[in-house]
């Protein structure tokens, strides 16, 4: 006898939305997450000593094109809490200086290259191949390449071009770009706090094995759960390890799928201690960091905050602080609060869609769903879209009350975590 009809492993936005859809459909579900909080890569760092001032350490923005996410938010009565993000400009960080975006543009090359946008297909091309043609090689090298690297927090050259900038309908009744009073982490917290939502945090899954027509799930703390159906909402390396016994063909399909480790430094300063103009963030051309995102889109009277994303394991904590302060014309001594956050993101490659097709073929007709931020793209909406399609494969179409079809559509974002 199964303990639960359905187990979800991973409590990032992918796993949370899987459990949410199951709850809406009346499916008895338990979510297991290794960390002590919901949200995964959606992580709003709060500093209680600074009047609970917060800075995003992971996903930074939601848009009115995030139809499936908006549907969930509507069910949780969150849309009325959304706050508009004030417009700020990004700057380039190059040769130790902040510079305007247009300073790196080669306009004549762009004029010659741009008409190819209407005749070149994205399918089958890498980001560097496609955008190098439609923008020009110099523009890609000096501007667009670094900008895309900033978005995905890793080298984007070998990403499949079709995973970037997919056009999606927008809801005109929702703010175009928005956040929430406590940051985007208000969304996962609200999902996990709804009545009837069953979750265990701080629970690391170590093994999945078959038991009759269902599954046995072992956890690091010695507990064991039984279920009829499973949803894995975890990074590809974790998914591969857990699928090994119960779905070896699925595990084989995602063999050697890449992972990028990101070290994020979150900093808060007294507003009076900084002379740097208000900015959306920094795109690093040749600095020690990949990108920086500012909290200036939601100004606070007293504090300013920034999240600097670094390639994993390249600098010490002290070195990251020095690099970040140099980019802000600040002193390390000016830092009022800080947090060091470790994330991992998928490193998509040109054959990625072929691998996903092989995975889906191996999962077809079975009782296991696999979702995460490594299927359609890395945005929060991409995660929820994949999750919804996997829910419907396991349990059938969602009813109108759980559809979340306000309108479907992008940013570095959500991920599932069971590390």
Residue 378's pLDDT is: 78
At 372, the pLDDT band (50, 70, 90 cuts) reads very high
* 8 A C-beta contact, residue 243 and residue 53: no
Contacts 24+ apart (CB under 8 A), 222-227: 225/3, 225/4, 225/7, 225/30, 225/32, 226/1, 226/2, 226/3, 226/4, 227/2, 227/3, 227/4, 227/5, 227/6, 227/7, 227/30
Question: Which among 406, 394, 379, 408 is positioned nearest to 41, based on CA atoms?
Answer: 379
Average pLDDT score over residue span 289-295: 96
Residue 206's pLDDT is: 98
- Per-residue model confidence as pLDDT tens digits over 179-200: 999 999 999 999 999 999 999 9
What percentage of the chain has pLDDT greater than the value 70?
Answer: 95
* 8 A C-beta contact, residue 359 and residue 252: no
At 407, the pLDDT band (50, 70, 90 cuts) reads very low
Residue 308's pLDDT is: 97
CB atoms within 10 A of CB 127: 26
- Per-residue model confidence as pLDDT tens digits over 121-149: 888 889 999 999 999 999 999 999 999 99
* 8 A C-beta contact, residue 8 and residue 32: yes
Over 50: is that where the pLDDT of 69 sits?
A: yes
Please tell me the least confidently modeled range out of 167-171, 178-182, 380-384: 167-171
Average pLDDT score over residue span 146-159: 90
At 408, the pLDDT band (50, 70, 90 cuts) reads very low
Residue 293's pLDDT is: 96
Q: Which residue ranges form the domains of the chain, and what is each CATH number?
A: 4-41+181-258+348-402 (3.50.50.60), 45-66+83-87+259-347 (3.90.660.20), 102-163 (no CATH)
- Per-residue model confidence as pLDDT tens digits over 13-50: 999 999 999 999 999 999 999 999 999 999 999 999 99
Residue 1's pLDDT is: 52
The mean of the pLDDT values for the chain is 92
Residue 349's pLDDT is: 86
Please tell me the least confidently modeled range out of 89-103, 170-184, 233-247, 391-405: 391-405
Residue 377's pLDDT is: 76
Residue 2's pLDDT is: 64
Q: Rounded to an integer, what distance in angstroms lies between the CA atom of residue 283 and that of residue 90?
A: 7
Q: Rounded to an integer, what distance in angstroms lies between the CA atom of residue 356 and that of residue 348?
A: 11
Q: Rounded to an integer, what distance in angstroms lies between the CA atom of residue 156 and that of residue 364?
A: 30
Written in H, E and C, the secondary structure of 142-184 is HHHHHHHHHHHCCCCCCCEHHHCCCCCCCCCCCCCEEECCCCC
Paired sense of beta strands 214-219 and 205-211, if any: antiparallel
Residue 351's pLDDT is: 85
Over 60: is that where the pLDDT of 344 sits?
A: yes
Average pLDDT score over residue span 85-101: 95
Over 90: is that where the pLDDT of 405 sits?
A: no
Please tell me the pTM assigned to this model: 0.91
Residue 352's pLDDT is: 87
Residue 154: CB partners within 8 Å, gap ≥ 6?
A: 260, 262, 290, 311, 345, 347
């Amino acid at each position: 006898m199964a303990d639960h009809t359905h187990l979800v492993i991973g409590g990032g936005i992918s796993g949370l939305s899987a459990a949410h859809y199951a709850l809406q459909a009346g499916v008895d579900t338990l979510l297991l997450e290794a960390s002590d909080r919901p949200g995964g890569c959606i992580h709003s760092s709060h500093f209680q000593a600074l009047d609970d001032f917060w800075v995003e350490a992971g996903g930074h923005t939601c848009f009115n094109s995030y139809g499936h996410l908006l549907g969930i938010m509507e069910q949780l009565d969150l849309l009325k809490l959304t706050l508009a993000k004030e417009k700020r400009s990004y700057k380039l960080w190059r040769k130790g200086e902040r510079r305007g975006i247009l300073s790196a543009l080669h306009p004549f090359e762009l004029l010659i290259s741009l008409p190819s946008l209407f005749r070149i297909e994205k399918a089958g091309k890498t980001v560097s191949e496609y955008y190098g043609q439609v923008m020009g090689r110099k523009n890609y090298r000096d501007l667009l390449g670094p900008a895309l690297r900033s978005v995905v927090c890793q080298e984007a050259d070998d990403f499949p071009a079709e995973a970037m900038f997919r056009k999606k309908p927008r809801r005109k009744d929702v703010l175009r770009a928005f956040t929430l009073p406590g940051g985007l982490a208000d969304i996962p917290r609200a999902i996990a706090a709804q009545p009837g939502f069953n979750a265990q945090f701080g629970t690391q899954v170590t093994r999945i094995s078959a038991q009759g027509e269902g599954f046995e799930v072992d956890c690091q703390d010695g507990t064991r759960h039984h279920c009829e159906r499973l949803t894995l909402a975890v990074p590809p390396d974790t998914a591969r390890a857990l699928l090994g016994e119960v779905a070896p063909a699925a595990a084989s399909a995602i063999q050697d799928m890449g992972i990028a480790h990101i070290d994020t430094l979150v900093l808060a300063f007294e507003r009076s201690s900084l002379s740097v103009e208000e900015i959306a963030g920094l795109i690093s051309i040749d600095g020690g960091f990949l990108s920086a995102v500012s909290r200036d889109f939601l100004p606070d009277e007293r504090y300013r905050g920034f999240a600097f994303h670094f390639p994993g394991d390249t600098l010490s904590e002290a070195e990251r602080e020095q690099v970040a302060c140099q980019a802000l014309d600040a002193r390390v001594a000016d830092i009022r609060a800080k947090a060091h956050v470790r994330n991992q993101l998928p490193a998509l490659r040109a054959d990625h869609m072929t691998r996903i097709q092989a995975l889906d073929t191996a999962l077809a007709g079975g009782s296991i769903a696999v979702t995460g931020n490594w299927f359609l793209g890395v945005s929060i909406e991409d995660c929820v879209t994949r999750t919804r399609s996997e829910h419907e494969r396991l349990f059938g179409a969602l009813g109108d009350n759980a559809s979340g079809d306000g309108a479907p559509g992008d940013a570095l974002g959500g991920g599932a975590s069971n590390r």
